[in-house]
Structures are given as C-alpha cells and as structure tokens.
Amino acid sequence: MKELEKTYNPAAIEDRLYQKWLDNKYFHADAERGKREGKKPFTIVMPPPNITGQLHMGHALDNTMQDILIRYKRMQGYEALWQPGTDHAAIATEVKVIDKLKKEGIDKNDLGREGFLKEAWKWKDEYGSRIIRQLHKMGSSADWDRERFTMDEGCSDAVLEVFTRLYEKGYIYKGSRIINWCPVCKTSISDAEVNHEEQDGFFWHINYPIVGEEGRFVEIATTRPETMLGDTAVAVNPEDERYKDLIGKMLKLPLTDREIPVVADEYVDKEFGTGCVKITPAHDPNDFEVGKRHNLEEICIMNDDATINVPGKYFGMDRYEARKAMVEDLKEQDLLVKVVPHSHNVGTHDRCGTTVEPMVKPQWFVRMDEMAKPAIEALKTGKLKFVPESFGKTYLHWLEGIRDWCISRQLWWGHRIPAYYCQECGEMVVAKSMPEKCPKCGCTHLKQDEDTLDTWFSSALWPFSTLGWPEKTEEMEYFYPTNVLVTGYDIIFFWVIRMVFSGLEQTGECPFDTVLIHGLVRDSQGRKMSKSLGNGIDPLEVIDKYGADALRMTLMTGNAPGNDMRFYWERVEASRNFANKVWNASRFIMMNIEKAPVLDAQPADLTMADKWILSKANSLVKEVTENMDKFELGIALQKVYDFIWEEFCDWYIEMVKPRLWDDNDTTKAAAIWTLRTVLMDSLKLLHPFMPFITEEIFCNLQEEEPSIMISSWPVYKEERNFGPEEHAVEIIKGAVRAIRNVRTSMNVPPSKKAKVFVVSEDQEVREIFEHSKVFFGTLGYASEVAIQADKNGIAEDAVSAVAPQAAIYMPFAELVDIEKEVERLKKEEERLAKELARVNGMLNNEKFVSRAPQAKIDEEKAKLSKYTQMMDQVKERLGQLVK
C-alpha cells in the first residue's frame, strides 16, 4: 500500500491517471468480448460537438452526465460503449474557413470548390480535435479508439445509402417550397439555426383599391411592406360579414400594374388587425399554404442577397432600402393609412445575426407525414421515454405539426447531394456514385448537384452510422439499439426527433430507449451564459484552479433532469473542500491500516458502531443504485456526499479513534477492517462523479485491482443489514448532538470537559449508553459518563438537554467558571444599560420623534426591543449564578 501525498493536488494526478486509463484501454468496449463473456451491452452515443467548438459549460454538463452513466454501467459489469465523435458543422465550419482565407487575402470563389475543400479539410485536421482534447480534461471515458466524424468514409456511405433509399421510396423529392434563407451566407438554413428575437417594429396599414369601385378600399396591415411586390391575393375569413361581398372581387395592387383577387380562407383571424390579410405565397410559410389551397401564383421578389428583382423603380434595391422607398411612395399616393408601433418575433440566423428571409426556392426536401407516424407511435407505446416525462409532450407537439424538411444547403463543405444531371437531355439520376452514362439518352456528360446536405441529415444517422451501418457489423448487431441519449432540452426537435424517425425508418428499431434531458447552466444571476453578456465561464479555467472532479461535482450538485442550474464559484470551492475531506480521511485510514493487519474475512468481534456504519453503507448502496437507475444523478450524489462527510468522517471515524489508538483493544482489527471496507465501497459509489480522486485513493489503498473503474459496483447484502445497531447508534448520536448544542449555546470551549449524566427509565436504552460511554469522551467532550435510571445525585443547577428516550445532565460548575461568567455578565449588563438609556432618551425626545424620518424611528424602536430582551436574559442568568 502506497502512501498518499499530504495534500490533495488534482493537477498532479489527473493527467497521469487519464493517460493510464487510455494506455490500458479501459474505455474500450469490445462486442466480441461482451458476447464471449455473456455481458449485456450498454451504449450511449455522444452528441457530436462541432469541430468548430470549444468546451463550454453546456458541453461540460452534458458529457459529465454521460460519463457518470457509462462509468456506473461499466462497474456493474456491462460491456459499456460510449461512442464519441464530432460533427462537420457545415455552415459554422465554412464561415470559419472563409474568415481564415479572408485574413490571408484569398477569396473562396477564386479557389473553386475543390481548392476550398482542401482548405476546409486542413482546418478540420488542425482544429477539429480541439474539443475532444478538452473533453479528456473532464475525465470523459468515451471509447476514443472508435472516434467518428460525420464526414468520414463510413458515415458518408451511410448518408448516401439513406438518401438513395428515401428517394427511391418517394420520401425525398426536389421542389419549390418556403425555406429559411440567409441573404448573407446565401444558403437555406434549418429551423434549428434560426433564433427568434423580440424586436420593435411597425404595422404599416395600407389601402388596396377595389377595382371598379372608385373610392372604396380594402385596408391591410403588414410588418414587411416590401413584400407587397409579391402579393397575389388578399384573404378574408369566409364568416366575416364585413367582407362577404368582396370575395371574388379584384384589387389594384399598389405600386404595381397588377390586379389580385380577394379570396376566402379560414386561416384569417377575424379579430386580428383589419381582418384582411395580404397573401405573399413566396415569402411567408402560412401564405404559401393559403396559396396552394387557392392555386395562387408564387412570385419570388428577391435575389439571393435580398435585393429586389422585380423590374421597375425598386429593382436592385436592398429589401430595407426598398421598404423605405415604397412607404414614401404609398404616402404620396395617399394609400398609407397609418403606422402603428408593433413588437414581434423576428427570425435571425444564429451564425451571422442576419434577419432570415422566408423564400420559395427549388430545394431538396424529405416528406415527413409518413415518417413521423412511427416516431409518434414509439413514444405512445413506451418504446421511447423521456426523463422527465413532460418533455414527451414537446416531442409529440412538434412531430404532430411537422412540415417537410428542407435538406439542401448552398454550401461547399458537407455531404454533396448524390443527384446527377445529364447535360444533354436534362435527365436527373439519384445514385450513390455518378453513373457512367445517362440512362435516358446514353450521354456521358453528367454533372452532380451543387448543393450539400443539411448537417442534421448526417447527425440524424449518428446512433447507427457510427456502428458501421449499412454494413452488418458485429458492433451494430451487439450495441444497437443504444440505451440512453443525454441532451439539453433545446434540441429535442432538431436532433432527437430526426434520430428517432431515421432509426425507425432505416433499422426498424428506435435508436435508443431513453432520452435524458438536462437544463442549461446559467450564471449566478440566473442569466444564460453568452458572449454578448460576457458571463461565460470556461470549464478549463475551473479545472486548472480546482480540478476536474470539483467541476464535475459542482455541475451535478442539486442537478435534476430537465431543470436549469446556476453556477457559483462558492459551490466549486465547496466541492474542492469535499475532495480534501475524502483525501484526508483516506490518508488517516491508510496510516492506521499500516499499523495493524487487515483481516481478509469479516471479523466476528464487530462492535455496535461497526455494524451501524456497515448497515448505513449497505442501505446507501441500495438507495444510490436505485437513484442511478432512475437517472436521479443529483440525488445519488447528494446521498453519497452526506454519507461520506457526515456519517463516515464526522461520526464513525471519530467514534473509532479511541480503539485505533489503544493497542490493547481487542476490537481494533474489526475497526480497521470496517474502515477499509466502508471506504472502498464509498469510493466506488463516488467514482462515477469524481473519477480522478477515487482512482488515486483506490489504487493506493490496495494492489489487487488495477483500477477502480473496472472494479465491481457495490451491491446490497442482506447480512449487512443491522437494524438494531443502527437504532442504537442513532440514539447515541442524538444524545451527543444535545450535549454539543448545550455547550455551543453556553460558549463552552471543546477543551473544557464535563461530567455527563444520562438518565433513562428504559433499561434497554441504558444498556445502549453503557456500551457507548467511550463515544462521549471524543464526541461529547465528557470527562466521565454516568448512566442511571433517575436524577439521584445530580446537582440542582445541572444543565439539562433532551435526547431520544433519555435526558442528559451536566453540572453547571463543570461547564462554566462561575466567577468569570459573573464578571462577564455584569460587564454586559453595564453595556446594555447604556444602550437602553441612549435609545430611551432618543425615543422620549419630542424633537427627535417629530423631525426624524420614520425609518430611523423604527430602527431605534427595534433596537429598544432587542436590548430589552438581551437585558432580561443577562439578568436571568445572573440570578441563577448569584444566590
């Protein structure tokens, strides 16, 4: 057994231990070994961080929770695979590479597609694994030998396979629909990449003249006047009596030479605005649906950079420049009724902050109506569950209202769409690789589609593409379906749902059975951490200062599934203090183990205290295991913390010290065996949460097992259930607490010993105390302990305290030096008399009472009450001491 360093220094052990784990491949999961040894598999797929990413508190929390679960299951004997990898993050990476090239004076377009992709792969090779190295610092025990990348050969093959399968099935199609368009990045973007911000804007109320009815108008209200150029109708509710006579009539579209019809549609809310809604099918998702119902023309009025493409005065203007000009023109034509301030949600691109423009564009889509049904059924039948369950409602709400998914992006970095166009006859072919010739005309001149796939398309396949699918690999057969997906509540829709319907469609099985949802890590004021607020905290900074274990413990303390948590530096310090407590207690135990032999088998002469702590530890094992299985990780940690700090360190170790220091005590070996046994189990229970410190202590404490992470998780043992002993020690603890409370209230220092009388009419209780006298010396500062059935022989001035099933008495004279206490109390009496005289003088002064602010008067009245109460207590105490 090696000796621990005097002081716990995480910086001195964490990197060394992590490298040891890597060298010994303790993180590696082996399907062949698992089947050979009859192990059950347990699989978690890591939400792949972006290769552009840097570790932040959200990553730290997410990965800590996964690591806790995987370490727990590994110790339980599962063949536990935590599948890691990174995401190519199409837009984010392309932006990073473009920015890098700009600094070097290089334009993306000058390089061409192939040249740019070479630069992107160079960037990926240089920066792509940065966040993985940072996850190492957290202690993440993922199977790094299996690390995948969404654009590696295997994952890319899976993407091509799924695309072609869905296309052949009719689930993927190319068509013109409303998409989110970023005019700066010049690409369509997913809903996940749109931030909705509350912005101050306006409602412009505009009159549309009714054709053939001079002087009669339809008033509409819009937040985007520039889109008028794309209006193809005005809609009213068919039940709105105000406008029934207008249905079917034509309106003159202001600022144009076009006429548009009035249509009836239940989409229109009669109570909102004027009850008349301009319909611009090419620039609004709701209008698009109305347009389909009424066969309206779709007029896209903007170029890719959001400049106006409609011939005429506004041609070439930026959308906001055109808005100003059009509003002025409407004023001149006396068609602008009014402008009303209005706050509304505006979608912006999360990468560049540009306001997103809904636009109809020819894009590739996944048809979602049929694919959503099995995903809905999976939750309703229990094949999939959410923790907490309430997030299942969010999942269902989104799926039941799902629209076709736009999967094409106008980017170069990403999986290129496997569609090929004949340059002679225009035939389109979808295939995993370019055909040698056109199947229609035989021409060999084919060109691949320029677009790439939405990043979510490849990450939707992550649970099975990482295991070798579409090949029938041993890993796929053994580790799939996976077990738990751990993620934040902010991406349920965008990623979780896509993985579920993709897994069900391609493999016939739900990709995981449980989705464990966690909240956000907020700052100490409850604000979301962000660059703009400057309130983000770098996890690596916390690790450098306090160690990874302290950070992990802080993130899990008080953590409840689905709930946000606040980050406090004080909590990190408390976690560090706990680590120090565990370290120092372990050093103390190991020093005593070296002085006495440790028995291999449980000794027969276990004392009441030994059985109490063994029984408490045994119950802890059962409770923590149940909490872990229910994903109550924060509760499990709190129980382990409370047990180690309070029961084990503050009570049991203090209880056994007299036995350890007495070489003649026949129960010394039992005490040492119990200390070692409970410490080993406690370290194992703590290991998933604090892997480094537990590994260092465990491996120094014994030499039989090479690592705590591959040791066995403790199990509940009926033979260690010592109910009577637990009951007895809890009575003793209650008595000791009562003694301590009395001494504290009387400011008695620990060095001042006093005789303790324990009085109880219950013989069984007296026997418990009789066998526990030794505890009162170390825990209750007793000079002597007398156990009796009544108060005979106890001085009248003895101080009393109530304990469970007993009364405690201590001679007053032994607790307090009466002469010194009288002297102190008289000085306090003089001080309080002066304070009372001052306060009464002020409150009896009419000038003070009439001129002073009420707050000052109330303050002095509060002081009067306080000093009066204190004076009463001092006089009462003096009356007791001075007879």
Q: Is residue 836 part of a domain?
A: yes
Residues 635 and 737 in one domain: no
**Which of 16-25, 140-149, 179-188, 277-286 has the least mean pLDDT?**
179-188
Domain that holds residue 258: 199-343
Looking at residues 455-459, what average pLDDT do you find?
A: 94
Q: Is residue 421 part of a domain?
A: no
Domain with residue 747: its CATH number is 3.30.2320
Residues 589 and 652 in one domain: yes
Residues 286 and 224 in one domain: yes
Q: Please report which confidence band the pLDDT of residue 453 belongs to, taking 50, 70 and 90 as the band edges.
A: very high
Residues 780 and 859 in one domain: no
CB 295 within 8 A of CB 289: no
Q: How far apart are CA 779 and CA 684, in angstroms?
A: 28
| Upper half-sphere CA count for residue 699 (Cβ side, 13 Å) | 16
Using one digit for the tens of pLDDT, what is the confidence trace for 301-350?
A: 999 999 999 999 999 999 999 999 999 999 999 999 999 998 878 888 87
**Which of 410-424, 741-755, 827-841 has the least mean pLDDT?**
741-755
Residues 253 and 303 in one domain: yes
Q: Is residue 91 part of a domain?
A: no
The answer on pLDDT for 797 being more than 60 is yes
Q: How far is CA 767 from CA 5, 62, 478, 726, 784, in A?
A: 42, 52, 59, 15, 16
Predicted local confidence at residue 226, as pLDDT: 95
Q: Is residue 572 part of a domain?
A: yes
Q: Is residue 174 part of a domain?
A: no
Predicted local confidence at residue 8, as pLDDT: 96
Six token digits for residue 640:
């382990």
Within a 10 A sphere around the Cβ of 414, how many other Cβ atoms? 26
Query: What percentage of the chain reaches a pLDDT higher than 90?
Result: 72
Domain with residue 294: its CATH number is 3.90.740.10
The answer on pLDDT for 821 being more than 80 is no
Could you tell me the pTM of the whole model?
A: 0.87
Buried b / exposed e across 261-270, counting CB within 10 Å, b at 16+? bbbbbeebeb
CB 645 within 8 A of CB 639: no
Residues 646 and 793 in one domain: no
Predicted local confidence at residue 883, as pLDDT: 63
Predicted local confidence at residue 416, as pLDDT: 97
The answer on pLDDT for 141 being more than 70 is yes
The answer on pLDDT for 93 being more than 90 is yes
Q: Please report which confidence band the pLDDT of residue 351 belongs to, taking 50, 70 and 90 as the band edges.
A: confident
Of 82, 112, 97, 18, residue with least CA distance to 51: 97
Tell whether omega for the bond before 48 is within 30 degrees of 0, i.e. cis. no
**Burial bucket for residue 722 (CB in 10 Å: 0-12, 13-18, 19+):** buried
Q: How far apart are CA 405 and CA 450, in angstroms?
A: 19
Q: Is residue 609 part of a domain?
A: yes
Task: Please give, one letter per residue, the 3-state secondary structure of 317-342.
Answer: CEHHHHHHHHHHHHHHCCCEEEEEEE
Instruction: Give the end of a domain, one of 317, 343, 369.
Output: 343
Using one digit for the tens of pLDDT, what is the confidence trace for 587-606?
A: 999 999 887 765 566 777 89
The answer on pLDDT for 828 being more than 60 is yes
Within a 10 A sphere around the Cβ of 47, how many other Cβ atoms? 22
Q: How far apart are CA 265 and CA 273, in angstroms?
A: 16
CB 488 within 8 A of CB 520: yes
Residues 687 and 784 in one domain: no
Q: Please report which confidence band the pLDDT of residue 471 belongs to, taking 50, 70 and 90 as the band edges.
A: very high
Q: Is residue 316 part of a domain?
A: yes
Domain with residue 861: its CATH number is 1.10.287
The answer on pLDDT for 881 being more than 80 is no
Place of tokens 């070489």: 663
Using one digit for the tens of pLDDT, what is the confidence trace for 101-127?
A: 999 999 999 999 999 999 999 999 988
Range with the largest mean pLDDT of 380-389, 732-741, 751-760: 380-389
- Residues in CB range of 280: below 8 A, 6 or more apart: 227, 228, 230, 231, 232, 287, 299
Predicted local confidence at residue 193, as pLDDT: 78
Q: How far apart are CA 266 and CA 247, in angstroms?
A: 13
Q: How far apart are CA 188 and CA 364, in angstroms?
A: 11
Task: Please give, one letter per residue, the 3-state secondary structure of 659-722.
Answer: HHCCCCCCCHHHHHHHHHHHHHHHHHHHCCCCHHHHHHHHHHHCCCCCCHHHCCCCCCCHHHCC
495: which DSSP letter?
A: I
Instruction: Give the end of a domain, one of 816, 834, 867.
Output: 816
State how beta strands 233-236 and 276-279 pair.
Answer: antiparallel
**Which of 3-7, 498-502, 520-524, 579-583 has the least mean pLDDT?**
520-524
Predicted local confidence at residue 601, as pLDDT: 61
Domain with residue 581: its CATH number is 1.10.730.10
Using one digit for the tens of pLDDT, what is the confidence trace for 686-728?
A: 999 999 999 999 999 998 899 999 999 999 999 999 999 999 9
Q: How far apart are CA 154 and CA 179, in angstroms?
A: 30
Predicted local confidence at residue 535, as pLDDT: 81
The answer on pLDDT for 532 being more than 70 is no
The answer on pLDDT for 528 being more than 90 is no
Single-letter residue type at 111: L
Q: Domain count of the chain?
A: 4
Q: How far apart are CA 759 and CA 770, in angstroms?
A: 11
Instruction: Give the end of a domain, one of 311, 343, 375.
Output: 343
Place of tokens 């324990």: 758
CB 610 within 8 A of CB 648: no
Q: Can you state the angle between helices 608-629 and 723-745, rounded to 10 degrees?
A: 100
Residue 820 annotated as binding site? no
- Residues in CB range of 767: below 8 A, 6 or more apart: none
Within a 10 A sphere around the Cβ of 782, how many other Cβ atoms? 23
Using one digit for the tens of pLDDT, what is the confidence trace for 40-80?
A: 999 999 999 999 888 889 899 999 999 999 999 999 999 99
Place of tokens 């307090």: 816
Q: Is residue 303 part of a domain?
A: yes
Average pLDDT of every residue of the chain: 92
Residues 797 and 845 in one domain: no
State how beta strands 187-189 and 233-236 pair.
Answer: unpaired
Residues 641 and 786 in one domain: no
CB 136 within 8 A of CB 49: no
How far does CA 576 lie from the centroid of its chain?
21
State how beta strands 565-566 and 754-759 pair.
Answer: unpaired
Residues 608 and 667 in one domain: yes
Predicted local confidence at residue 598, as pLDDT: 57
Single-letter residue type at 471: E
State how beta strands 187-189 and 172-182 pair.
Answer: antiparallel
CB 246 within 8 A of CB 216: no
Residues 606 and 732 in one domain: no
Q: Please report which confidence band the pLDDT of residue 636 belongs to, taking 50, 70 and 90 as the band edges.
A: very high
What sign results for the dihedral spanned by CA atoms 464, 470, 472, 475? Answer: negative
Place of tokens 């620990």: 750
Residues 754 and 827 in one domain: no
Q: What is the H or E stretch that residue 767 is in?
A: helix 763-770
The answer on pLDDT for 146 being more than 80 is yes
